Amino acid sequence: MNVNNKYQNNNNFTEKMTANFSKTIDAIINHPYISALEKKQISKEKLEVFVCEQYHIIANDRKNFAFIISKASDEISTALFFDCLSAEVKALKNLVLMAEELGISRGKIESYEPLAGCHAYTNYLTRLAVYGSDAEILAAIIVDFAVWGTNCSKISSSLKKGYGFTDSSCIFLDQFATPLPKEFIEKSNNLINSNLPEKEREIQRATRLILDYELLYWNTIYEYSFSPHLF
């Protein structure tokens, strides 16, 4: 019998990870930062924190995926990570529209000093890029992307309803709110399953940590969105 049989139900493992880490996921999608935006408790000025952090995070993730592509294990992995890189490049361009809505200059974004708690996520992705396997990276992406996308959808709705943002200025958020393509998920899960059960512990750890760092991002941005000394 093939030892991988129990993982052949394509999404089985990543769905298992989502269930295993549901407590962290719930903490992220029900985060007080999201609630504060819905209640319009965060000033427009402090929305600059979100934009500036995202600029530096995505700029680093763009480099991460470029490096990951250079060491991908096969053509399928290369194509999957190229899709990730393309999404980061597109997101960086779309973020400019959000910055313009808030009147943030390019100089201010580039001179902004990133917060350590917000950048733990992208720095961990750098570690995975250097030392992790394709399966670890893809599992972490699939599970975390759905969580990040849920919050992007909520933020987009709040900004349009309470802050006067337009569809154009929220395209950055709406892009991430769109689910990953079915083909991307299927190919990723096939690759992940091919590494089970041998690499199960490493893949599970990568998924857990990426979610923990995602939660740290929201905790940090929430704290500093109410700090009187940040800007």
- Confidence (pLDDT) at 2: 39
CA distance 191 to 10: 10
Mean pLDDT score of the chain, rounded to an integer?
94
CA distance 224 to 39: 17
Of 207, 146, 141, give the one whose Cα is nearest residue 177. 146
- Confidence (pLDDT) at 5: 45
Contacts of 207 (CB under 8 A, 6+ apart): 14, 17, 21, 136, 139, 140, 143, 144
Q: Is the pLDDT of residue 218 over 90?
A: yes
Q: Is the pLDDT of residue 180 over 70?
A: yes
CA distance 175 to 164: 19
Band of residue 12 on the pLDDT scale cut at 50, 70, 90: confident
Band of residue 3 on the pLDDT scale cut at 50, 70, 90: very low
Element (DSSP H or E) covering residue 98 = helix 75-101
User: 146-173 burial, b for 16+ CB within 10 Å, e for fewer?
Assistant: bbbbbbbbbbbbbbbeebebeeebbbbb
- Confidence (pLDDT) at 230: 54
Q: What is the pLDDT of residues 90-136, one digit of tens each?
A: 999 999 999 999 999 999 999 999 999 999 999 999 999 999 999 99
Q: Name the H helices within 8-133.
A: 12-20, 22-29, 32-38, 47-70, 75-101, 106-111, 116-131
Mean pLDDT, rounded, for 63-75: 97
- Confidence (pLDDT) at 194: 95
Match domain 11-22+44-225 to its CATH number in 3.40.630.10, 1.20.910.10, 3.40.190.10, 3.30.1330.40.
1.20.910.10
- Confidence (pLDDT) at 227: 77
Looking at the chain, the whole-number percentage of residues with pLDDT higher than 90 is: 92
Mean pLDDT, rounded, for 183-196: 96
Peptide bond into 32 cis (omega under 30): no
Looking at the chain, the whole-number percentage of residues with pLDDT higher than 70 is: 94
Q: What is the pTM of this model?
A: 0.93
Band of residue 9 on the pLDDT scale cut at 50, 70, 90: low
Mean pLDDT, rounded, for 10-14: 77
Mean pLDDT, rounded, for 4-10: 48
Band of residue 1 on the pLDDT scale cut at 50, 70, 90: very low
CA distance 206 to 208: 6
